[in-house]
Amino acid sequence: YINTTCPKGVDENERLHFISPYGCSKGAVDQYVLDYAHTFGIRAVVIRQSCIYGPHQLGVEDQGWVAHFSKQFILNHPITIFGDGYQVRDLLHVDDLTHLYDRAIQSIHTVTGQALNAGGGITNAYSLHQVLELLKTKIGSSPQITYMAERVGDQKYFVSNNTKAKKLLGWKPNISFTSGVESLITWQKENLT
């Protein structure tokens, strides 16, 4: 999915706009870290994580939703979608995220006092419907899916533009969602009780 208003995704210069207490708390911490780095010389960087998934994640509806959906498919339990299911997110495997953290730590002098996006980018952008279809294919079950009203604060589209992390740290996501989700499914099948 490509949004014509931001065809390369949303970058770090996008104005923060808080719609919910959850978003406000994330944005406040973001700004505190940047301010402490600038004011007190603390070596710190903000990593603005998108939708992270991977092994060792069980997930719930609000956090770790890919893992939550996968778990529901494996257990053949119902799934609730808030909104129409055409919301688009970029998905980042946890191994790619840890590589970014490693690089940021190793080059903290380069990134101190800055915010960096960490998402799957345009190539790993999927609607909720697409994620559900992929899980259905990979797991082979068809749980009941219920639709409810969109929640306050839910975004229709968010895809990270990771250009800054690539420029400063040489980082980019390497694991495609279609292959990376298999490690999540395998771990969940081995560990769900």
Q: What is the DSSP string of 138-174?
A: HH-----EEEEPPPTT--SEE-B--HHHHHHH-----
Give the C-alpha separation, 79 to 148, whole Å. 11
Q: Output the CA–CA distances (angstroms, integers) from residue 47 to 140, 162, 185, in the order listed.
A: 35, 11, 26
Contact 71, 188 (CB under 8 A): yes
Catalytic residue among 22, 36, 86, 101: 22
22 is catalytic: yes
Whose tokens are 């923060």? That residue is 16
Q: Output the CA–CA distances (angstroms, integers) from residue 71 to 31, 94, 133, 180, 184, in the order listed.
A: 34, 17, 14, 15, 9
Question: What residues does 92 pair with on adjacent strands?
Answer: 52
Q: Which residues are catalytically annotated?
A: 22
